[in-house]
Structure 1
Amino acid sequence: MAIVTGGASGIGEATCRRLVAEGATVVIADIDGERAASVAAELGRAASAVQFDAADVTSIESLVLCTIERFGHLDVLHNNAALTSPALHAKDTNAIDIGFDTWDLIFAANVRGYLAGCKYALPTMIRQGSGAIVNTASTGAFSGDITRMAYTVSKAAIIGLTRQIATHHGKQGIRCNAVAPGLVMSPGARAAVPDVIQVMQRHLLTPEIGEPDDLAALVCFLASEEARYINGQTYIADGGMLAHNPAMADLVDLAAHR
């Protein structure tokens, strides 16, 4: 039994599809209840939809506790929801210009929301003696950017949260790991300015840009018993973006013209 937040699109949707394909029962939780219901209907009896708000602790508590009451147990929690609207990102600028309302809203969903999911899932997982939590961080947590101040810092906080949960509850049978996606061709990325995608693609060490299915495979592995000896870790899936000298693409161009 799994809960996937932000499960109606992108990495979350791909993860729901992968989990069902591998035999799991999934609750697709998303602020877009209609889209979640549509995905659940497509996946059949193994999936159901719940509308929830990742920035509202009461909503998260209801999501987790109602799921446990309905199914009797909870094996996997994939904390994946995040605020991604272009209007909000336009306000998420730098330390001087960002408003505290923007900062607080992003942290409410991206950090407090993940903590709340863990808080309400853990007692049942501990009673079971097993449970896997997979949090979605970002490569932004490992490198500075020219914008998205709150988003980047919030994703770094998720890595810390992941380690804390693993440290506190690993001996009780709980595994908590994180995935840190780089550029992934989710619906949001596809709607971005093509020039931005082309600039980022130059720095990948893979021929193609990642797809949501690539992250879903990693999430499902970390949620499975095959990853039983992995705890407190963050796995970067970015096509090698962070593996090389930041000037690599420019140096390749320079060498080609010599």
Structure 2
Amino acid sequence: MSLENKVAMVTGGGSGIGRASAMTMAAKGAKLLVTDLNLESAEAVAAEIVAAGGTAEAAVCDIGEEDSIRDAIETAERRFGKLDVLHNNAAMLSDEALIGDQDILTVPVHVWDRIMEVTVRGTMLGCRHAVLAMRRAGGGSIINTSSINGIRAANRMPAYSVSKCAVNMLTEVVASMHGREGIRCNAVAPSMMRTATLERLVPKEIIDYNADAALLDRLGQPEDVAKVVAFLASDDAAYITGHVLPVDGGTMAHLPTYDAERRYLLANAR
């Protein structure tokens, strides 16, 4: 699964899944433009890649602003000659959004609107400018970050969930419209992943419930998602497009009673 001679850009690459994606693709030979709203975070990840023997540079990218997305993609082309891969990973995940997005009865309208504006429109704009760049390169692969919350309903985070559902349809639309140009578009849909933001903002009990719902014996890590992103970026996935791939440890593969029944059977095993 080599990415030699590939040029990749990651949005939201300064931490979490974006950081893991950039590090993983660089380790497989890709040249990386690591972008983030926070330039220092992007520079730190690029420096890690370079220290490990890879090739990377950093740039600011605010996916809420079209000019910023276009400029970042043009930076990748200018510095590395082309763009083969975009991991469209950034989303609206500010503390205000995560704390306020709990119920449709209480989510502030400005928070709802901002999540849609940044996550949905920003992902679309990333696809737009990536397609234009990939036409110039003769093809490419776009990987959007979705969520299992965009596939199955949860009892919180309604705006986030709806925005990720929109990303899923956007993925299929882009794949359908541009596949004959050699441009693939897929999405990864993680379950809850252990990140610094998760540990800081989500109660331990909810984290434990999500761990119990997985068929595997642990909560996922950003690297679990990054490996799938790298596969979808590679020529090994050359005949895969228009799909949303859950990276969820089997969370969606069972009845809702699975975790409770598992605990019951363990408690009553003889």
TM-score, normalising length: structure 1: 0.95
- Matched residue SS, 2:167: helix
CA distance in 2, matches of 1:257, 1:85: 43
CA RMSD of aligned residues (A): 1.5
- Equivalent position to 2:174, from 165, 171, 183: 165
Structure-2 residue corresponding to 1:87: 96
AA aligned opposite 1:221: F
Q: CA deviation at 1:193?
A: 2.1
Question: Which residue type is aligned with residue 106 of structure 1?
Answer: I
The match for 2:110 is 101
Aligned to 2:28: 22
Please give the secondary structure, in 2, of the residue aligned with 1:243: coil
Structure 1 residues 253 and 70 mapped into 2: Cα distance closer, same or farther (>3 Å)? closer
Partner of 1:10: 16
Normalising by structure 2, we get a TM-score of 0.91
**Count of aligned pairs:** 258
State the Cα deviation string for residues 147-169 of structure 1 (Å, max 9, x = none): 21111000000000000000000
In structure 1, distance between residues paired with 2:79 and 2:206: 44
Shift of 1:109: 1.6
For residues 41 and 70 of structure 1, the distance between their equivalents in structure 2, rounded to whole angstroms, comes to 16
Alignment of 1:1-258 (within 5 A): 1-44=7-50, 46-191=55-200, 192-255=202-265, 256-257=267-268
Cα distance, 1:112 vs structure 2: 0.6
Deviation at 1:253, TM superposition (A): 3.3
Query: Alignment partner of 1:114: what SS?
Result: helix
Cα separation, 2, equivalents of 1:99 and 1:132: 36
| Pairwise CA distance, 1:110 | 0.8
Tell me the distance in 1 between the aligned counterparts of 2:155 and 2:204.
18
Query: Could you tell me whether the CA contact under 8 Å between 2:83 and 2:134 is conserved in 1?
Result: yes
- Please tell me the residue identity of whatever aligns with 1:4: V
For 1:207, give the aligned amino acid. D
| Segment of structure 1 superposing worse, 106-115 or 44-53 | 44-53
Q: Identity across aligned pairs (percent)?
A: 38
- Structure 1, unmatched stretches of 5+, are none
- Give the secondary structure class of the aligned counterpart of 1:90: helix
| Deviation, structure 1 residue 257 | 4.0
4+ residue segments displaced more than 3 Å: 253-258
8 Å CA contact 2:73–2:133 kept in 1: the answer is: no
Moved more, 203-212 or 158-167: 203-212
How many Å apart are 1:202 and its aligned residue?
Answer: 1.2
